[in-house]
Chains A and B, each alone.
Chain A
């Protein structure tokens, strides 16, 4: 087993863990942590599986990961900006499970 594969497997496990946390938690900050850890896992898979391991890791994969990291921070930043505004408006940043609200909507 090469270390690259090891990192890829770790990435896969991180994704699964992150997913579980994302679904189990309702608090926004916890979900964002989970999202970022999932993202880290995906990046590990991406680089770990990328073909070719010379002196330097696959430059394309590196570039993709860099892009991914920036996108992730943008998403986190947006979510927090929305959450701050929600907090200001008196809302609750503990979001309910996305698919469990069906019946509430009917009562509006």
Chain B
């Protein structure tokens, strides 16, 4: 049972990470990254690493996420015209 839960979590982690990495829209990528952070916190909790889980949620997902959100908004229209968030 718990193994299945872990497996599910792993698949979700990879899936969301892929989305965050290769999403076409920058904003969406950042949101997915925050979700990834929260899932990762869950993964830490599953591995009995409560300290890391807390820190991941607060710093990894929360603060880094906020930073990136702000940056995504700020740098949306970079010099040189078209939206830079597009996937290559």
Contact residues of A with B, CB < 8 Å? 3-4, 6-7, 9-10, 13-14, 17-18, 20-21, 24-30, 32-34, 36-37, 40, 43-44, 47-48, 53, 55-57, 61-62, 65-66, 69-70, 72-73, 76-77, 80, 83-84, 87, 90-94
Within 8 A of A (CB), among B27-85: 29-30, 33, 36-37, 40, 43-44, 46-52, 55-56, 59-60, 63-64, 67-68, 70-72, 74-75, 78-80, 84-85
Contacts of B47 in A (CB 8 A): 3-4, 7, 47-48, 57
A76 B68 Cβ-Cβ under 8 A: yes
Given A17-B17, A24-B88, 11 other A-B residues pairs in contact with their CB atoms under 8 A: A21-B21, A27-B78, A34-B21, A61-B49, A62-B52, A66-B52, A69-B59, A70-B59, A73-B64, A76-B67, A92-B78
A30 B29 Cβ-Cβ under 8 A: yes
The 16 sampled A-B contact pairs (Cβ below 8 Å) are A10-B10, A10-B13, A14-B14, A14-B17, A25-B88, A27-B78, A28-B75, A30-B21, A30-B29, A40-B37, A40-B40, A43-B52, A47-B52, A55-B48, A80-B67, A84-B74
Q: When the two chains form the complex, which single residue of A7, A33, A84, A90 contacts B21, counting CB atoms closer than 8 Å?
A: A33
